[in-house]
Amino acid sequence: MANHGAVASELANKELTQAVLSDFRTAPISPQMKATLAFLEKLTLHPEMVTDDDAQAVQAAGVRAKALARAIYICATMNVVNRLSQALDFEVPSDETLARRAKLSVDRLRREGKIA
């Protein structure tokens, strides 16, 4: 499980997180989230193929432009981090370590009132 998966599991239902990570297309999530994830997948794997029509399709599914922009920013940031970590051969912590760190991070954010 990647770091973002560990955080998602801590914030949300672990089974739902696993279903999304396994295949977001069949996971029990909203059509808006599926449209956003499909867009982000294309942006990550085939950026040269992304067009305005792709973004318009996400918005037609009910996703606001500002929400899509935020998703793109997060995706781009994670793509850069992933590529740098692979290029520099960063050590990937175990699933247990990631889960422990995620819990600590989420607990801190809750104490600070930044998340519910």
Give the pLDDT score at 115. Answer: 75
Q: Taking residues 71-84, what's their average pLDDT?
A: 90
Q: What is the CATH number of domain 3-111?
A: 1.20.1290.10
Give the pLDDT score at 7. Answer: 63
What share of the chain in percent tops pLDDT 90? 49
pTM metric for this prediction: 0.75
Domain ranges of the chain: 3-111
Rounded Cα distance between 79 and 81, Å, is 5
Rounded Cα distance between 24 and 20, Å, is 4
Quickly count: other Cβ atoms within 10 Å of residue 61's Cβ: 17
Quickly count: other Cβ atoms within 10 Å of residue 90's Cβ: 11
User: With the C-alpha atoms ordered 52, 54, 55, 57, is the resulting torsion angle positive or negative?
Assistant: positive
Instruction: Give Cα 8 to chain centroid, integer Å.
Output: 8
Quickly count: other Cβ atoms within 10 Å of residue 110's Cβ: 12
pLDDT per residue as tens digits for the range 4-60: 566 666 666 788 888 888 999 999 999 999 999 999 999 999 999 999 999 999 999
